[in-house]
Amino acid sequence: MSQRVLMKGNEALAEAAVRAGCRHFFGYPITPQTELAAYMAKRLPKIGGCFLQAESEIAAINMVLGASAAGARVMTSSSSPGISLKTEGISYIAGSDLPALIINIQRGGPGLGGIQPSQADYWQATKAPGHGDLHILVFAPNSVQEMVDTVASAFALADEYRMPAMILADGMLGQMMEPVVLPEEGNVTLPEKPWATNGHAGEVRNIANSLYIEAAELERLVKARFERYAEIEEKHSRHETYGLEDAEIVVTAYGATARVAKAAVRDARAKGIKAGLLRPVTLWPFPKKAFEDAAKSAKAFLCVEMSMGQMVDDVRLAVQCKRPVEFYGRTGGIIPTPAEVLAEIEKLAGGAE
Amino acid sequence: MSVKDTNVFERGSDVADRENAERDLPVTVRRDVNTVLAGFGGQGILFMGKVIAYAGLLDGREVSWLPSYGPEMRGGTANCSVCISDAQIGCPLVTAPDALIVMNQPSFEKFVPTVKPGGVIVVESSIITAKVECNNVAVHYVPATTLAEQHGLKGLANIILMGKLLAAAGFCSVETMTETIKKIVPARKAHLIPKNIEAIELGMKA
C-alpha cells in the first residue's frame, strides 16, 4: 500500500486522475482551482499525456468533447464562473453520449463573485449543467482522501453510462492539505469504446453528434437516456451517516460543509441533544431513500450549506413535507462555523421538546 | 451504498488521552491542537504551518493545513490554520485557536481576541510592540527576528517562534520535529537542516 502523504486537494485530484489513466487535460486557469491545472501541466508531458491550456473555458470543454469522442479518458477543471462557460459544452457532451470528468472547485457567485469557498453551484450542477433534458453524475467528496477516491469511480461510471461526471468541491477542499493515500501507480486498463470516432478502422463509421432534426428521433434518444438515468438513480446513489440511529434532529450537509456540520453534531451530542448527520455523497443521483428512511424517526431536519439554500429543495422533496426542514447557510465565501450550526441545532432541539 | 462511521462519538480527546496512557505516551504530547499562524506574506507563515502539519503526519495523526489564499497574500497578510488530532478533523478552518503565532501587528489585532481561554500565544516581539491584555491565555514574547540575526539564523524567525510553540503547546515530540525538519527541507537545501534544528532549540529556550 502507498504511504500517507500530505497533499493539497487540487494536486491530489490531479494525481488521482493520472493514476486513473487520464492522459488528457484541457483547461483554463482560475482561482481557487489553478494548482490542479498547474500540476497537470508538469505531470502529463512526462508520461506521454497532453496538457493544453486553451484560449477559454469554452474552447477547453470542446477539446474535452473531441478527445472523449476519440475514446480518450479526458478531464477538465475550473471554478464557478468558468463552469458557467463550460455548460454549453457539457450539454453537447451529454447529448453526444460521451464520458468526461469535470471538476468544479466552487467559489462565491453570482458573476465573478469572489474567490473564497462556496457551494452556490448546487442548482447548476444538479438541475441545469447545460440546456436540455439531461443529468450528469455529481459527486460531493468531503476530504482530500475522498476526492482522490472519487476520481477513479467517477471516470468508471462516466464510461459505463457514457455521460459526463462532475466532482463538485469548493475552495476549501481544493486549497487545504491533508494526509492522503494515493492509489498505486500502474497500467490502467480502460474499457473498450467501440463507439469511438478514432479513424473508422472497422466496418462501422462512428459519429459523435448531438443534432437531431427529426423530433421523433430526438424524443426516442432522450427517453432512452432517461431509462439509463433511472437505473443510475436505482443503483448508484451514495450517502454517509453519523449517529443517525437514534437522532431526533438530522443535520444534512455535503462536501466541506458536512465536516463543519459533523463537528456541530458531535458538540450537540456532548450536550445531550440527539443529533445525527446524513451526508449525501452523490448529489445526482440524490440519496432520496436515505432521507425517506430518516424521516420515519427524526423530528426535524436542518440543512446546512455555503449558499442561500439550494440542496434544501431536494431535502424537502425527499422528506415529502413529513417533517419540518430548516435551513442554515452562509454565502459569498463565508464558511459557517461549528458554533453557528450548533446554535441552530439547539434552537431546533428547544422547539422540538 | 451507505458508509457508516464506526467511531461515532467515541473519538473525543479523552479517548485519545486514554489510548495514549495505554501506549505509555505522554498525554500532553498527543493533545489535539488547533493552530492559527499569521503574519506578512514572505515571513514563512505557510511553511511554518506545513512543518507543524508534517510533524502530525509523521506521528500518524490526522492533520489539516488550510491557507488563506487570494489577493491578501500579495504584500498583505498571510495566515493558515493547522489542526492536529487523533480524531477526524471536523472543521479545518480554525476560528477559535488554542495555539497562535503572530508575526505582525494586523494579525495581532485580528487573531489575539479569537484565542480560546487556556490557549497559548507566541508573539514576534521584535516586530509587535503591543501586549496581550487578557489574562486567561499563556503569552510568550519572543524577539525572533533579532534572535535570528544574533545567532546567524537570518530568515529563520518563523522556525524560532515555532520552536517556542512546540515547547509551550507540545504538539509533537522533539524527536518528531527533528525528523520532520530532515524530511521537509528539500535536498538542494540540505545544508539548512542543522540551522533549522538550531532555530527550534533556540526558540524552545527563548
Task: Locate the domains of chain A by residue range.
Answer: 4-192+210-235, 239-352
Nearest-by-Cβ selection for B57 from A6, A260, A338: A6
Average pLDDT over residues A80-92: 98
DSSP reduced 3-state for A99: coil
**B5 and A241: CB-CB below 8 Å?**
yes
Among the partner residues A178, A240, A335, nearest to B2 by beta-carbon distance: A240
For residue B159, give every residue at least 6 positions away whose Cβ sits within 8 Å of its Cβ, in sequence order, or none: B44, B48, B51, B153, B196, B199, B200, B203
Q: For chain A, say whether B54 makes contact (Cβ under 8 Å).
A: yes
Identify the structural domains of chain B with CATH numbers, from first to last: 26-205 (3.40.920.10)
The CATH class given to the A239-352 domain equals: alpha beta
pLDDT of the residue at B70: 65
Residue of A nearest to B12 (CA): A266
What pLDDT was estimated at residue B91? 87
CA distance A213 to chain B (A): 40
Residue A259 is nearest to which of B70, B91, B95, comparing CB atoms? B91
Q: What is the structure's pLDDT at B72?
A: 54
Q: Closest residue of B to A4, CA-based?
A: B57
* A172–B contact, CB cutoff 8 A: yes
Q: In what order do the strands lie in the sheet with A137-139?
A: A50-53, A24-27, A74-78, A100-106, A164-170, A137-139, A282-284
ipTM of the complex: 0.91
Q: CB-CB: which of B3, B66, B69 is closest to A240?
A: B3
- Judged by CB atoms closer than 8 Å, whether chains meet at B66 and A31 is answered as no
Q: Residue B1: its pLDDT value, please?
A: 40
Work out the average pLDDT over A26-43: 97
Q: pLDDT tens digits, residue range A116-130?
A: 999 999 999 999 999
Q: Do A171 and B67 touch (CB under 8 A)?
A: no
A4-192+210-235 — its CATH code?
A: 3.40.50.970
- Grid cell listed for B42: 514572505
Q: Please tell me if the domain spanning A4-192+210-235 has the same topology as the one spanning A239-352.
A: yes
Kindly tell me the burial class for residue A334, based on how many C-beta atoms sit within 10 Å of its own C-beta (0-12, 13-18, 19 or more): middle
| Rounded average pLDDT over A3-12 | 96
* Structural element, H or E, at residue A339: helix A338-352
Rg (CA), chain B: 17
Mean pLDDT (whole number) for A257-278 = 96
Report pLDDT for A202: 65
B93 touches A at CB < 8 Å? yes
Q: Hey, which residues does A305 pair with through a beta bridge?
A: A329
Q: What is the pLDDT of residue B135?
A: 85
pLDDT at A199: 80
**How confident is the model over A157-184, as a mean pLDDT?**
97
Tens digits of pLDDT across chain B (206 residues):
444 443 333 334 444 444 444 444 444 446 789 999 999 988 999 999 999 999 999 999 999 999 987 665 555 779 999 999 998 898 899 999 999 999 999 999 999 999 999 999 999 999 999 999 988 999 999 999 999 999 999 999 999 999 999 999 999 999 999 999 999 998 899 999 999 999 999 999 99
Poorest-confidence range of A136-150, A180-194, A247-261, A274-288? A180-194
Q: Answer whether B95 touches A (CB < 8 Å).
A: yes
Partners of A107 in the β-ladder: A117
Which residues partner with B36 through β-bridges? Answer: B81, B100
The four Cα atoms A39, A41, A45, A47 give a dihedral, to 10 degrees, of 20
**CB–CB contact B69 A240 (8 Å):** no
A6 vs B contacts (CB less than 8 Å): 50, 53-54, 57, 63, 65
Rounded distance between C-alpha atoms, residue A46 and residue A24, angstroms: 12
Q: How distant is the Cα of B55 from the closest Cα of chain A, in angstroms?
A: 11
Instruction: Share the mean pLDDT of chain A.
Output: 96
- Asked if the C-beta of A50 comes within 8 angstroms of chain B's C-beta atoms, the answer is no
| Nearest chain A residue (CA) to B49 | A177
**What is the per-residue pLDDT for A204?**
79
pLDDT recorded at residue B18: 47
